[in-house]
Amino acid sequence: MPQEILVKPELLTGACIEKNFSYLEVSASEVNPDVIFDIVTKGSHHGAIVYVLRDAFNPALATRVIENFDSILARTEGGNRTDDSFVKTNQIGATQFSRSGDEYVREVIQTSSISLDLFDGVAHDEIEQLFATELLEMTFAKKGMVLRSSRFKNIPAGFCTLRRWLDNGEMALMPHDDTAQLLSARKDGYEVAGATHVVSYNAAVETSDKGGALKVWNINPDEACRERLGLVSTGYPYPIDSLDGIESLTVQLRQGDAYFLNSSFIHGVSSVQEGRRLSAGRFVGKISDDVAVYWT
């Protein structure tokens, strides 16, 4: 478990992994479900906070999803996420970022049709390759827990959201943490607010020829840190220079890979210098001793 420490007295405070801060990678055919379970329920697996599944799905499947995504972008003029002055992205699907439960599920409903269009020509069993939902459900069931979609007023969360990060000159996705979104969920009691930390699952549908790597820093900011930086409701963005000297790791992804990340730790995506980067993702969090949920 992360240990509470003061990382940078002048700016960043929070928790870090004291020993073996790392990531693990494995062929998807050799996945160890216990690693995923530990990251979701405990935050790490013996210090590893990222678990990369190489070759989780094939390029032909990825190509069909890319074609669908690009088709939807063309007819929606850039996707359904308007410019919120935070993240530059083309997005299909709902996001709970800075939204209450009510605001989020209304967006889920509004985007449900185009979200389904993302998987035109994709077989039902191929969805398992992309998201490993059945694997997760069985893993949690064996541990005496339920994994399900989160709900607000009985409306289920989105299944996934696809995003193509658009470079902003410094990084494709600036350093941020995903715990802050739980604070927005507290506004109206959306159940995800009960998660102790957030795990991000992402499938690498399209990867850039140069750049676009995942970078994670060994710092899980506390609420005082977010207050100090004015990031209470967003967790975005942390100044890049504030992370100087903090231990970090970098993971280069290939098309067809997927990963689980304890995204309460500050993380981002390096500048996309050549090509494009498209990921399909959702969040997972343990909200009680016997329930974990996912949302987007």
The CATH number covering residue 273 comes to 2.60.120.620
Q: Is the pLDDT of residue 51 over 80?
A: yes
Per-residue pLDDT, averaged over 109-132, amounts to: 96
Report the alpha-carbon angle 107-84-120, nearest 5: 45
| DSSP-based three-state secondary structure for 157 | coil
Does the predicted model carry a pTM greater than 0.75? yes
What single DSSP character describes residue 29?
Answer: G
Binned at pLDDT 50, 70 and 90, residue 77 comes out as: confident
Per-residue pLDDT, averaged over 191-209, amounts to: 97
Integer angstrom CA distances of residue 126 from 35, 51, 57, 134, 205: 23, 21, 8, 12, 13
Cα radius of gyration (the chain): 18
- CA nearest to 94, candidates 157, 174, 170, 51: 157
232-261 as b/e: b if 16+ CB within 10 A:
eebbbbbeeebbeeeebbebebebbbbbbb
Binned at pLDDT 50, 70 and 90, residue 71 comes out as: very high
pLDDT tens-place string over residues 147-162:
999 999 999 999 999 9
| DSSP-based three-state secondary structure for 201 | strand
d(CA 186, CA 105) in angstroms, rounded, equals 14
Write down the pLDDT at residue 85: 55
Determine how many CB atoms are found less than 10 A away from the CB of residue 170: 12
| DSSP-based three-state secondary structure for 251 | strand
d(CA 195, CA 291) in angstroms, rounded, equals 10
Binned at pLDDT 50, 70 and 90, residue 9 comes out as: very low
Q: Is the pLDDT of residue 1 over 90?
A: no
Contact between 288 and 83 under an 8 Å Cβ cutoff? The reply is no
d(CA 268, CA 80) in angstroms, rounded, equals 22
Q: Is the pLDDT of residue 3 over 60?
A: no
Q: Which amino acid is at 291?
A: V
Sequence-distant contacts of 242-246: CB under 8 A, at least 24 apart: 242/8, 242/11, 242/12, 243/12, 243/175, 243/217, 243/219, 245/8, 246/7, 246/8, 246/12, 246/217, 246/218, 246/219
Q: Three-class SS string for 86-122?
A: CCCEEEECCCCCCCCHHHHHHHHHHHHHHHHHCCCCC
Residue span of the structural domain in which 198 resides: 3-295
- The number of residues making up the chain comes to 296
Higher pLDDT, 82 or 271: 271
Percentage of residues in the chain with pLDDT exceeding 70? 94
- CA nearest to 12, candidates 236, 242, 245: 242
Q: How many domains would you assign to the chain?
A: 1
d(CA 168, CA 73) in angstroms, rounded, equals 20
